[in-house]
Amino acid sequence: MGRAPAGELRIEGLGVALTRPSGDLPVLENVSLHVPAGRTAALVGASGAGKSMTAYAVLRLFPVPARITAGRILFDGVDLARLPERDLVRIRGRRIAMIFQEPGAALDPVMSIGDQVMEGIVAHFGRARARERAAEALARVGLDATIMRRYPHELSGGQRQRVLIASAIALGPSLLIADEPTAALDVTVQAQILDLLDRLRQDLGMSLLLITHDLGIVAQATDLVHVMRGGTVVESAETRRLFASPQHPYTRSLVQQAQRLGRWS
């Protein structure tokens, strides 16, 4: 068999539990999903379905004490679920980047934009050319290098999201996981950010896992959809197919609800 194409993510039968003094509390059970190399897959579902937990599991960056209890997380054929921490450190940011859900918390208010974008670059590649690489990443997201001297509060929501995207792509990852990247933005800016992510995916040859609860975004921006409910994936399909003939009752209700709201034509 040949090598798997770069940036492919295949999660198989993933289980995650919160670890508590009183014992494990399962939050994800039998989660399976696929992000083909160079494509965009959506992970959709209501609040609390387990979308963010799934994303955290990929890089083992749980915000609460938790552990992987079952399954495989195959990134270009390598099982991250079994990878020792010292090897995972080299994958985080550099080969798989993540844009976290809380845009407010993601930027340090007292650190200049330049220093924040350079931080990851310095950690992985050293100081040499860090400023140049940061400016390059910012240019890719449509921001002028002068923004490096500014601070988060001086930026609009859309500009802040662009800075986070610049930080995420600065190390040249082959997979980008974006957790609700447009939730806090108005509709026009949302569309611009989605276009930007799509262009970066193509230009940089990345795969994209787009986490959202918005089926309008799914219809617009993705090739493949995985629908989550109650800590598991209940349906996976090509985006067109999912909207044309949703199989699972939950998916059907989601699609009907979104159609009533007129979220896409």
Ligand X SMILES: Nc1ncnc2c1ncn2[C@@H]1O[C@H](COP(=O)(O)OP(=O)(O)OP(=O)(O)O)[C@@H](O)[C@H]1O
Q: Give contact residues for Mg ion (rule: CB under 5 A).
A: 51-52, 101
User: Are the C-beta atoms of residues 208 and 35 closer than 8 Å to each other?
Assistant: yes
Q: Which is nearer to Mg ion, 52 or 222 (CB)?
A: 52
Beta bridge partners of 175: 96, 207
47 sits near ligand X (criterion: CB under 6 A): yes
Selected binder of ligand X within 11, 44, 51, 168 (CB under 6 A): 51
Q: Which stretch binds ligand X (CB under 6 A): 50-58, 128-136, 157-165, 247-255?
A: 50-58
Task: Annotate each residue in 14-33 with x if it binds ligand X (CB under 6 A) or - if it does not, as one string.
Answer: ----x--------x------
Identify residues 188-227 at the interface with ligand X (CB under 6 A).
Answer: 213
Q: Which is nearer to ligand X, 173 or 231 (CB)?
A: 231
Beta bridge partners of 176: 97, 208
List the single partner that 159 binds among ligand X, Mg ion, none, CB under 5 to 8 Å by kind: none
52 sits near ligand X (criterion: CB under 6 A): yes
Is 28 strand, coil or helix? strand
> In whole angstroms, how far apart are CA 239 and each of 46, 50, 63, 74, 196?
18, 20, 30, 22, 20
Burial of 57 (0-12, 13-18, 19+ CB in 10 A): buried
User: Are the C-beta atoms of residues 25 and 15 closer than 8 Å to each other?
Assistant: no
64 sits near ligand X (criterion: CB under 6 A): yes
Residue 75 CB, nearest approach to ligand X (Å): 20
184 sits near ligand X (criterion: CB under 6 A): no
DSSP 8-state assignment for residue 249? H
Residue 142 CB, nearest approach to ligand X (Å): 27
How are strands ordered across the β-sheet holding 175-179?
96-99, 175-179, 207-212, 40-44, 224-229, 232-238
Is 92 strand, coil or helix? strand
Number of residues lying near ligand X (CB under 6 A): 13
* Residues contributing to the site for ligand X (CB under 6 A): 18, 27, 45, 47-53, 64, 101, 213
